[in-house]
Structure 1
C-alpha cells in the first residue's frame, strides 16, 4: 500500500465531523457460522483501524436520572449487573465503579442517559447506542444513551432486555466498537446474550493486551474488505475503508474510497469532511479548500477539523480563516476557539524563536484572548514582552497566569525576575519608592532571588544617601531599614553622621560604635571619638562635668593618639575639680607628643591653682604634690621658693635646699628664699649633731653654692668669687651636688662676666671640668643576662 510522506503526521489530528455511533439492534435474526478466536479486527475498523480503549480501571460510570414520569423498572440494577458480569468474565480486566449523579463530566468515563427516544439513527430499530468522539488528537470521549422502549413494539424493555442492551453498550464503551459476526456473542449486532461469551472475553482481553492507539490497519482492512465483498454498494463501508486508509498513511487511496462513498451515499454525514482531510493529508490543499468553499456553512465542526488539518500542513492563514468561520457560525464553539488559539500560539512561538518578538507578541495576545485558561500562552506572551523590554506589561501577564494557577513555580520565578528588572529601571530613574515596591513583589514570589535582594539594598542605600540633606528623617529610617537586611559599617557611619549633624551626639556615638564593631577601621574609630568628644563638650557646656569626663574618656579610648582629646579631657577634669586627673590627662598628651606647649602650660596652670588652694588650706603635702607637678620649664623663682618652703614644712630639708637655691639663682634678691635657706642651714646643723651621714655634707655644699651665687650676684666681691672657686674644686662627686654647683656656677659667670671676666673664665673652665661626660664607645659593655648561655 502506498504511503504518503506527510500523512503520518496528520493521523492524530484528522477527526471526523460525525461521531461514531454503534449500538444494539432489536433481535431480528440469529446469526450463525461465525469464525472462531476473536473479532477484534471487526471492532477497530470503526476507530480508524486503531485500538481505542479506556486506559484506567475501574471505569467511572455515572447513571443519569430516569426521565420524568418514567418508572425505573430495575433498569439501574440491570445495568450494574451487566457491569458485574463483564468484570467477572474477564477476571477484572474491565470493571466499573458507579459515581454519584452530580459527578463532574471531566471525571466520568462513561456517562449514561436514560431516554425514551434515541437521538440518532431514527430509522433504525435500535435499543441503545454508544458514541465515540475525539475532542483532541490523543483523547476520546464516550457517551451512552439507553432506550427504555422497544421501537417496534412500543413496549417498555424488560429487565432481561435491559441487561442484554447494557452488556452490549458496555462492550462498546470498553473499546469493542464494532460487532461480532457470531449472533451468540454479546457484541453481535442483534444479540440476546445474558452474559459475555468466551469469544467476547477473548476479544476484550486481546484488546487490553495492546497499548492504547496501537495501529491495526492491516487486520482492519482485511475485515472491511470482506464486508465490502458482500456489500460492495454500502457507502458507510467505503467511508470506513477511507478512514482506515487515511489513518494508515495512504491519503490517495483514502480519497478514492471516500469518493466512492460519496457517490454511493451523498447524504453520509462524515464523508465530505473526511474527504477534505484526505486531500489536505495528500498535500492537495487547493482541492481541499475548494471543497470547503462548496460546503459553505454546512457545519462549524467541519471548519474546525479542516482548520486543524490546515494548521498541521503549515497553512497558518487558511487555518485561521477556517477556525474563524467555525466561530462565526457557532460563537460558543469551544473546541474551535481553543484550536484557533493553538494556531496563534504556534505562530507566536515560531516568531519568538526567530527573535521577531513584536510579531510573537501580536500572535500570543490573540492566543491568550481566545483561550485565557491556557496558561502556557500567557507564559509565552510574558516572555516575549520581557524580550521587548516591556517588563511592566510582562508582569501583568504573569500575574494573570498565576491567578489561574498559583502552583506554577517557573512562572513565579519569571515574575520575580521581571519585578527585579523593573526595579533596576526605577533605580536608574531615582524612583526609589517604586523600586522598593517592585522588589517587595519580586521577593514575595521568590524569596531566594539574589538579584532582587541586591537591588533592594542598592535602592534603599541610594535613596537613603540621596535624602541625607533634604530629608534626614527619611534618610535615617532608610539606613536603619537597610541595616535590617545587610549589616554595614558604612550604614552605621551614615546614621551617625545624621545624628552628628543634628547634635544628637549620644545616638551618633551608638551608631559609630556599632559600625566600629563591624569594621574597626581608623576612620570608624575617629568617627566614634568625634561623637564622644562633641558629646563631652556638650556636657561640659551644660555644667555636667562628670558626664563630660565620661564621654571624653571614651573618645580618648577610641583614638588614643589624638592629643587634642586629652586637652578637652584635662579641661573637663579641671572644671570638675579633679586636678590630679587633669594633670594626668595633660601629661598623657605630652607623653604621646613631647614638646606640646599647651600641655606644659595647662599642667602648670592646673598645678598652680590646686597648689595655692592647698596652701590656703595649709594642706602642705597636697600643695607640694601640686607644685611639684609643674613642669621644670614653667617654674620661676617664686615657684621654686614655694616648693622649697613646702619641703621645709614637710620635713625634707635637702629638697628644700635644692628648690630654695634654684629660687635664689633665678632671683638673687629674693629675701624670703634667703631667709628660708638660712633656716635650712640651722636645721641641717641640728640634724648633723645626731646624723653624721656624708649626705648632709653634700647638702651643705649645695646650700653654700646657692648662697655664694646670691651674694656674688648682689655684691660682686672677689673674695666671694674665690670662695666659690674653692667650693667648686672641692665639691663632692655626688651627682645632685655637682648639678647644683654647676647651676650656681652658670649663674655666677653670667653675673660677673662684665666686671670680672678673668674670674668668670676660671669658673667656667672649672665648671666644664666638673661637668659629667657621656660614656665613650669603648667604655660601653654589652649587657649580660645572668644564667644565659653564649650563642
Structure 2
C-alpha cells in the first residue's frame, strides 16, 4: 500500500475499534480493491466483515491474506480470533457440530486462545465426548495458570466432566479443593452439593450434601450470588421450609425486590401457603418479571394449585407468545384447556397420534434384539455409579447416569445411538405436517440429540409426572424390565408409562390420558411438552431405560 492507502488503513482500524463498523467496512472494501496484493488490506477486510456479521466473507478475506503471506503469525492469529468468536456464537445458539468445526480451525490457526479451548470443551462435553472435553478444559486451565489468570470456571467445569466420566471420587476431591480455596464461588458450591447428593452415601457417608454450602451462605450475607444459588439449591432439594427461613433476612435487607419476592412465593407455594404466596406473585408480575416465561410458568403452577384456572391459562398463553418453543408453557396451556373442556387440548397433545411406540431394530453386528439389549444393559450397568437420584429430577427411587450418554467413545453406545436415531426418523416420517402446530410445525427428517441418559429404577421406583424443558421431542427406550412389569395387566399397570397426568404437586385430580405397557426393545416417543411419568412397581429386578431429548435437525 502507498502512504495514502496506509493512512486510510489506520483510519479504518480506528473506526473499527471505536465501534463504527459500517464506516470501517466501507474503507476496507475500497482498500482491498485498490491494493489486491496487500495482505494487510485483506486482513483488515476480514476483521471488518466479521464485525459486521458476514463471517463466510470474512473467512474468504483472511484466506486471501494467508495466501499472500503464508504462515504469517499476525494474520493467523487474527483469523483464529475471528473464528473463535464465531465458534462461541455457534455454541450459544446450540449449533454444536458446527461450533466444534469452527473452533478446531480457530485453534489450529491460533492455539494460544484459552477461551476458545474452554468453548471447545463445552461443545465436546455437550456432544458426550467426555475424554476430549476434559483434555480441552485441561489445556485451557494450564494456559490460564501460566498467565496467572482466573481459572475458577474451568476448574469447576473439569470437576463436572470428571463426574460425567464416572470418576466421582476425583470430582469430589476437586470440588472440595475449589470450595476451600474459593468459598465465595457459588458454582463450585453447587457442584460440590450435587456430587455429595448423588454420591455421598458411598464417598462421604453421613455428610450433609448441603452442609458446606449452607455454612458459606450464612458466613457471607453480602454475597448475593451465593445467597440466591443456595436458595435455589434448597428448593431443588425440596427443603422449602429452610429456603423460606433463609430468604427472610434477604427480603428484609431488600424490601420490594421482585426476584426475592418470587423466590419466597415459590417456597410458600411449595409449603401450601398459597394465600401468602398470591400477593407476592402478583407484585412480581407487575415488573419486568411479568414478561419472563420462567416466572409466568411459576405463577401458572401457583394458579393451578389455587384452582385459578383462568389465571393459569393467561400466564401460559402469554408465555407461549413470548417464547413459542417453551415446553413448560405449552404443557400448562394444554392442562388449562383440559380443565376448561377446550378441544384444543386434543389438538395440542393428540395422545394417540403424537405418542409413538416403535420397535427398534438391532444394530449391525448383533444377531438379534435380545443379544443387543443384553449387551447394552451390561454396558449401562457400569455407568450407574451414583447411589442416589439426581437433585431436582423426575427420578424417584433410582439412579441416572452422569453427563451425556450419546457421543461417548463406546461401540455399544454408538450402536444404540444409531439404531435409535433410525427409529426416530421412521417415526417422524409418518407424522403429518401442520404449520400451525407447536410440535408438528417444527418437524424435520432427522433430529439432533440435546440430552441423553440412562435411568435405573429399583423396586417402588418411578418417574414423577414431568415434561422436558430442553427438548422438542423426548423418549424412553426400554432396555430391561422386571418380570412384574412384563406381566402386569390393565388393573395394576406396574412400571407402565403414562401420559397426560400433570405434575403431582399441582394438586389436580386428573387421570392419565394414555397408558402404555413397556416392552424390551421398544421406544416410546412424544412431544417434550407432554406430561408423562411412570407407575411404581414391586420387583427384585431393576427397570433399565435409555432416554434422550431431541431438537429438529435441518
TM-score class, shorter: 0.3 to 0.5
TM-score (norm 2): 0.32
Higher strand content, 1 or 2: 2
Based on CA coordinates, which of the two structures has the bigger radius of gyration? 1
Q: Which has the higher contact order (CA 8 A, sep 6+)?
A: 2
Higher helix content, 1 or 2: 1
